[in-house]
Structure 1
Amino acid sequence: MKRSVILSAIFFGSLFYLPAKAQVSIHFGFNIPARPVYAPAPPPQPVIVDDDDDYYDNDDDYYYLPEVEAYYSVPRHCYYYQNDGRWVSSAYLPGAYRNYD
C-alpha cells in the first residue's frame, strides 16, 4: 500500500512537472529627474544677411589722387573726377592720365 501511494504521488506530480527556464536578469536603475525649466528659452536670433559685398574699413572708402584731381573708390574699383564741371565715374582715368601709377 505504501508503495502504491508513493507511485501514485510520483505519477500525479509528473503531470504538473514543468522544466525550469533559468533566466538571469540584472537591472540597475537610476532615478535622475529632469532639470526643471525656470525660464523660457530665448527666441531664436534672426539671421542677418549682409548683401553688401564691401568687406573693407569704412574709413578707406575713397582715396584722393591730388596729381590727377580725382578720387578712387576702393569698394567699387572706379575713379571719380570732374569733366566740364560734372562728376564722372569711370573704370579708367581720363586719357591724359591713363599711364598714372
Structure 2
Amino acid sequence: MKKIILTAAIAISVLTIQSASAQISVNINLGSQPAWGPVGYNHVDYYYLPDIDAYYDVPAKQYVVYENNVWVHRSALPSRYRGYDPYKSYKVVVNERTPWVRNTVIREKYSGYRGRHDQVIIRDRRPEVRTVKYVEKHDNGKHKGWDKKDKGRGHDKGGKHRD
C-alpha cells in the first residue's frame, strides 16, 4: 500500500512540475524582437515587410525571401535589397505559421502600407511616463466641523464636541 501511495505521489509531483514548467514558458518574445520592430506587441512570430514583399522570422532572427521560386531563410537580406532600411519602413505583425504560403493574400491585404514611414519602432519608443495625481481628501459629512469653512460647528479648543 505504501508503494502505491509513494508511486502516486511521485507521478503527481512529476506531472505538477511538467505543468508548472509549461506554464512558465509563456510565449512572450518581447526581448528578442529587433530594435526596428513596431511598438505595442508582446509576441511576434513574423513581420511582413511590404516594401520588399518579404518576411522577418523573429524567433529565428532571419529574413524569409523569395528566391528562385522558393521561400528561403537568410540571416541577411540579399544584395538586391541593399537600399532597404527596416528602421524606416513599415512592418506588419503576422502571427501565423509559414505566412509566405498565403503570400498573395497577405501582399494584397497590406499593399497600402508600402512606402509608409510613420510607424513608431521599439528603438524610438519613449518611456511611459506615469503621473500621480494628488487628490485632496474632503470631509465625508461624518465629522462635523472638520472643514475650515464650517467654523460654527465642531470641536472647541478644548477638544470637546459642540453643536
Per the shorter chain, which TM-score range?
0.3 to 0.5
Normalised TM-score (structure 1): 0.45
Normalised TM-score (structure 2): 0.30
Structure with the bigger RCO (C-alpha within 8 Å, sep 6+) is: 2
Quick check: which one's helix share is greater? 2
Which structure has the bigger radius of gyration?
1
